[in-house]
Amino acid sequence: MQNSQISHDIFKRSELEDTIDKILKTGDLEINDLVYLLKSTEIQRLGFVGNDIREKLFGKQVSFINNIILNYTNVCITYCKFCAFYRPPGHAESYTVSKEEILQRIIFAKTNYDIKQVLFQGGHNPKLNTEYFEDIFSTIRSKCPDIAIHGLSASEIDMIAKVDRSSYREVLDRLHKAGLDSLPGAGAEILVDEVKEIISPLKISSQTWLEIMETAHRLGIKSSATMMYGTVETIEQRARHILKIADLQRKTSGFMAFIPWSFEPNKTEIQENGTVQFAMGGFELLKMISVSRIAFNGLIDHLQSSWLTNGIGMAQLAIFHGSDDFGGTLIGEEVVSATGARSTELLESNIVNAIKSMGFIPVERNNNYDLIRKY
């Protein structure tokens, strides 16, 4: 991975430049430096650096993937206060999708949209064991061998292990052999337990999330890392999240991408109880993208802007702050759409046009971020 040097015509000498130079030249991440950058209001200057690093790595290319999200169940017993999607067991609106319907959706999407990935995520359903997922994954693999399964967050793996009274390693190993290719980063939120105790007290701890991810990486299962910011966390707690991701990446090199996304409070318990009324907006997104690009320089190549929660316009601007990946088409998405915040599907043509209109070259990728088509 290439090192980025800051052009000295961008800055006059400043504490901001000194801090960024220190991180990029040494690779050392310290909590005080991250807090300083995350508190900065100099998003244009941060953006210059983020964009410079991105351009040295990827030139004018911005990637995306043709995929669907398959939310296989909304039954969940963790009752996260930031979620508008889940339903408790026995609720009139609860569902679990059958294997037959799952296969039908995937085959339809492959035929009509030429998808390369299924993002397979759902609630923490206490009736679903390892065999349920093994059966589904092996069927997908046999019927659609060229579609990657990017599925099951660390917290879902924890739920499956509890149902089967098994270890994380055994569950992950069995599912990997059945066809699971990689894990999404969901369930991380902010990797600080003081935050989790407020927004998701029944969900896995920060250490458990990291342990499951490390176990997956040791088994050869790559993953994404995410950060959901904008609930009750402090700037310092965001910085600690970044440090924990970086520490694990140094150990395993298992994270393919980092995806920061802004919490959408609409129709959630957090909004109803008055804790958070509004999403944080574009200023924090662009700063988060820039700082993440700087912090993960030399560690995690790919940085996704997540148009799903931030909107297409902000995802376009995020490219100029260091994001190199636009995410997926996300056909069939149900979790964010449950908030009623915005449209949660895009066609390939929409993404291609969004990237081209910013003067960049759209490239389609696969699950492993290999480029398979240039537009």
Annotated binding site for S-adenosyl-L-methionine: 82, 189
pLDDT tops 50 at residue 8:
no
The whole-model pTM stands at 0.91
DSSP 8-state symbol, 342: S
Q: Are 206 and 192 in contact (CB under 8 A)?
A: yes
The mean pLDDT of 232-238, rounded to a whole number, is 97
> What are the binding residues?
76, 80, 82-83, 153, 189, 306
Sheet of strand 61-65, all strands in order from the earlier edge strand to the far edge: 325-328, 61-65, 361-365, 371-374
Residue 257 pLDDT greater than 80, yes or no: yes
pLDDT in tens, 194-210: 999 999 999 999 999 99
Domains assigned to the chain: 19-370 (3.20.20.70)
CA distance 43 to 321: 8
Query: In the predicted model, is pLDDT for residue 234 greater than 80?
Result: yes
258-290 pLDDT tens trace: 999 888 777 777 778 777 777 777 899 999 999
The residues with which 61 forms a beta bridge, in sequence order, are 361
Binding site members for [4Fe-4S] cluster:
76, 80, 83
Helix boundaries (H) for the chain:
15-26, 31-39, 43-58, 99-113, 130-143, 154-164, 168-178, 193-199, 206-218, 235-252, 269-272, 282-295, 307-310, 312-319, 348-356
Cα(176)–Cα(184) distance, integer angstroms? 14
- Number of Cβ within 10 Å of residue 202's Cβ equals 12
Average pLDDT, the chain: 91
Q: Which residues belong to the annotated binding site for (3R)-3-methyl-D-ornithine? A: 153, 306
Q: What is the pLDDT confidence band of residue 3, given thresholds at 50, 70 and 90?
A: low
Beta strands 255-262 and 222-229 are: parallel
CA angle 254/259/260 to nearest 5° reads 135
Q: What is the pLDDT of residues 127-180, one digit of tens each?
A: 999 999 999 999 999 999 999 999 999 999 999 999 999 999 999 999 999 999
